[in-house]
A and B are shown apart, each in its own frame.
Chain A
Amino acid sequence: MKALIVIRETSSAWLRTFFSNDHPAMIRICNKPMLEYWVDFSVLAGCTSLRIILEEPDSRIEDYFENGELWGMDISYGYTMPDDSLEVILKKNSAYTASASLLAMDGFFFIHYRQDQKYNALIQPDDVSQTLARCESGSIQYICPQTDSKSPPAMDKPPVTDKMKFPSLSPLKDFDHLLEISMRVLSTEQPHYVLPGYGTERNVTIGSNVEINRTTQVIPPVILGSNVRLLNQTVIGPHAVIGNNVIVDTGTSIEKSVIMDNSYLGKGLRVHEKFVDGNMIFSPRLKEKLVVKDGFVLSSIKASLPFSPVRTVFNAAGGLVLGVLQFIPFIILFSIRKLQNDWHVQHKSFFIDSRGKKKTFPVIKKNKNTVAGRLFTFLSLDKFPLFGAVVLGRLKLMGNLLLESTPANDRRLSDFKEYLPGAYSYSEGEGLTPETPESDIAERFHAANRSFFRDICMLAKTITR
């Protein structure tokens, strides 16, 4: 039997309002990605291959599951359009789904299974296509092979016992559901799943490299991730899930709450019925999100980016050389255009990194109607004001097209982590009109395949174009 997992963006997008750094399907429930519960269940149901279909694919999902070797199954990936029905999705994946019985999980929900059960026993050889489980945010369906619906699915089945029943599904439609499911898994269902870490006592699971101060109280049920530091006088639990790479500072207590990965919680805090992710705190009950600016209270722990001195020096030197070369032509043509009353500058704010940092740059209006204006454009002198930022390391010499600070571009940045703008853009290098689908594709393609050598080639192509 094969499995097909369809994660709908419409059902899961609510998570992006808080956990914007990860794909909703990878939301941690007791430190295990939601999607991994589905994959584990597929294994228990006797599936030997699995295809994950996403509306918004994310390379981090593929990096996590890879080809499925760790789960003993073949995992592949596919895409779907927002309005595609399951029928259309099956058709689009016909090479995968043809002549195989299929377990289709469609929607966004949590599966309450037990790791000691073999669920393939519940699907009988003479079963017809049917819905096996359903909740308000999705369902699990058994689909018979289309080619020969009378032939039984080839499965090695253990005997069915009276105690066996198909797992129930819990809808995942808001933060109340998420907290409720997290607490249910934590307090009563921990043994049902393979959770990361080891159990020291009942309802306590601890990851690796955990430092617990001797004055810390750990009150079950509790799950601690890896690389966790609990400092003096901290009280963890009851009902607390602490993610990976978390520091809880002196005197802080955490109860009925979920602390996501890479978070620092400052001294003397009382965290009750909350989600904490980096410097954001969310109350499911009050439906309120708070971003804490004081890094001593709450902050995220980030891995530092590797420093590349050669690239930085080349970037600054390149900006300086081009700035010097353009200086005299700029002054001359600036003076001429000014005298001709043809000098119009607008100051606009642009995003200078993928995290939404902004900087204002002057934008010089082009004019193809005068000789000076044409020469100005031909020599790319509109780039001149940007070279200062290049020399200071705020902009790349060759990079993405500068995106103006608008709400639409802000949304665009949320799935464009590779965005690094430059004085010269990839779209210019390819000779594409900015803000077209073709230009967007070129920007993303070159950003994903960016290298020092490729950028130099692209810069040469842009300047000589």
Chain B
Amino acid sequence: MNFHTEDNGVTIIKMPERFDSSMTENFKETIKSLCDQELINIVIDMSGVAYIDSSGLGAVVGALRRIREKNGDVKTACLHKQVQSVFQITRCYRLIEIYDDVQAAVSSFDTAREKG
């Protein structure tokens, strides 16, 4: 898992192929460290994720809660069909915004700022 911050302050976290219980601690620590740095606009790039389980989803939702408490937001992008179906089964799409494309997700924060 690696991440970088764009010019507009949005951080893109690129997830590995498997996003399960073995990854959640690492992910939570990353989110905590981003929160500490006030980097609270996050896009999770799922283009590399082929498998996600309930622990992975739980970690994403936990991150979402934590970030929204700080008035930030977490968006996901580039979900594979299998991952998309897990989002559907667990009704995660009600909680978190899903984009086709990472750049569209990143620029959506600008649109939100302009409207806000």
Residues of chain A at the chain B interface (Cβ within 8 Å)? 57, 59, 77-79, 81, 88, 91-96, 415, 426, 430, 432, 437-438, 440-442, 444-446, 448
Chain A neighbourhood of B23, CB < 8 A: none
Interface pair B58/A442, CB less than 8 Å apart: yes
> Could you say which of A79, A432, A444 has the most chain B C-beta atoms within 10 Å of its C-beta?
A79
Within 8 A of A (CB), among B40-72: 53-55, 57-58, 61-62, 65
A445 to B59, CA, bound (A): 14
Interface pair A441/B92, CB less than 8 Å apart: yes
A437 touches which of B55, B65, B93 (Cβ 8 Å): B65
Interface pair B89/A444, CB less than 8 Å apart: yes
Residue on A with the closest CB to B105?
Answer: A92
Chain B neighbourhood of A440, CB < 8 A: 90-91
Given known contacts A79-B87, A438-B62, A446-B54, A57 and B100 CB-to-CB distance under 8 angstroms: no
Q: Mark B75-116, 1 if CB is under 8 A from A, else 0.
A: 000100000111111111111011111011001100100000
Chain B neighbourhood of A93, CB < 8 A: 100
A426 to B65, CA, bound (A): 21
Interface pair B100/A441, CB less than 8 Å apart: no
Interface pair B87/A94, CB less than 8 Å apart: no
Q: Name 20 extra pairs, CB < 8 A, besides A94-B104, A441-B92, A442-B54.
A: A79-B88, A91-B107, A91-B111, A92-B97, A92-B98, A93-B100, A94-B100, A95-B78, A95-B100, A96-B100, A426-B54, A432-B58, A437-B61, A438-B58, A441-B54, A441-B90, A441-B91, A444-B90, A445-B53, A446-B54
A442 to B58, CA, bound (A): 7
Chain A neighbourhood of B61, CB < 8 A: 437-438, 441
Interface pair B100/A437, CB less than 8 Å apart: no
Given known contacts A57-B88, A445-B86, A92 and B54 CB-to-CB distance under 8 angstroms: no
Interface pair B108/A91, CB less than 8 Å apart: yes
A433 to B82, CA, bound (A): 27
Residue on B with the closest CB to A416?
Answer: B91
B100 touches which of A81, A92, A426, A446 (Cβ 8 Å): A92
Chain B neighbourhood of A96, CB < 8 A: 100
B99 touches which of A57, A77, A91, A430 (Cβ 8 Å): A91
Interface pair B97/A81, CB less than 8 Å apart: yes
Interface pair B91/A415, CB less than 8 Å apart: yes
Interface of B is mostly: helix
Residue on B with the closest CB to A76?
Answer: B81
Chain B neighbourhood of A445, CB < 8 A: 53-54, 57, 86, 89-90
A176 to chain B minimum Cβ distance, whole angstroms, is 31
A438 to B59, CA, bound (A): 8
Chain B neighbourhood of A91, CB < 8 A: 99, 104, 107-108, 111
> Could you say which of A95, A96, A430, A446 has the most chain B C-beta atoms within 10 Å of its C-beta?
A95
Chain B neighbourhood of A438, CB < 8 A: 58, 61-62
Q: Mark B10-54, 1 if CB is under 8 A from A, else 0.
A: 000000000000000000000000000000000000000000011
What are 6 A-B pairs with beta-carbon distances under 8 A? A59-B88, A78-B100, A96-B100, A426-B54, A441-B57, A446-B54
B31 to chain A minimum Cβ distance, whole angstroms, is 14
B99 to chain A minimum Cβ distance, whole angstroms, is 5
A386 to chain B minimum Cβ distance, whole angstroms, is 23
Interface pair B89/A448, CB less than 8 Å apart: yes
Interface pair A78/B98, CB less than 8 Å apart: yes
Chain A neighbourhood of B94, CB < 8 A: 81
Chain A neighbourhood of B87, CB < 8 A: 79
Chain B neighbourhood of A432, CB < 8 A: 58
Chain A neighbourhood of B86, CB < 8 A: 445
Residue on A with the closest CB to B21?
Answer: A430
B92 to chain A minimum Cβ distance, whole angstroms, is 6
Residue on A with the closest CB to B88?
Answer: A57
A415 to B91, CA, bound (A): 9
Interface pair B99/A94, CB less than 8 Å apart: yes
A10 to chain B minimum Cβ distance, whole angstroms, is 14
Residue on A with the closest CB to B98?
Answer: A79
Chain B neighbourhood of A57, CB < 8 A: 88, 93
A445 to B55, CA, bound (A): 10
Residue on B with the closest CB to A57?
Answer: B88
A81 to B61, CA, bound (A): 16
Interface pair A95/B101, CB less than 8 Å apart: yes
Chain B neighbourhood of A441, CB < 8 A: 54, 57-58, 61, 90-92
Chain A neighbourhood of B90, CB < 8 A: 440-441, 444-445, 448
A95 to B94, CA, bound (A): 21
Residue on A with the closest CB to B55?
Answer: A430
Chain B neighbourhood of A79, CB < 8 A: 87-88, 93, 98
> Could you say which of B53, B61, B87, B93 has the most chain A C-beta atoms within 10 Å of its C-beta?
B93
> Could you say which of A77, A81, A94, A440 has the most chain B C-beta atoms within 10 Å of its C-beta?
A94
Chain A neighbourhood of B95, CB < 8 A: 437
Which 5 A/B pairs are nearest by Cβ-Cβ distance? A95-B100, A445-B54, A79-B93, A438-B58, A94-B104
Chain A neighbourhood of B108, CB < 8 A: 88, 91-92
Residue on A with the closest CB to B99?
Answer: A92
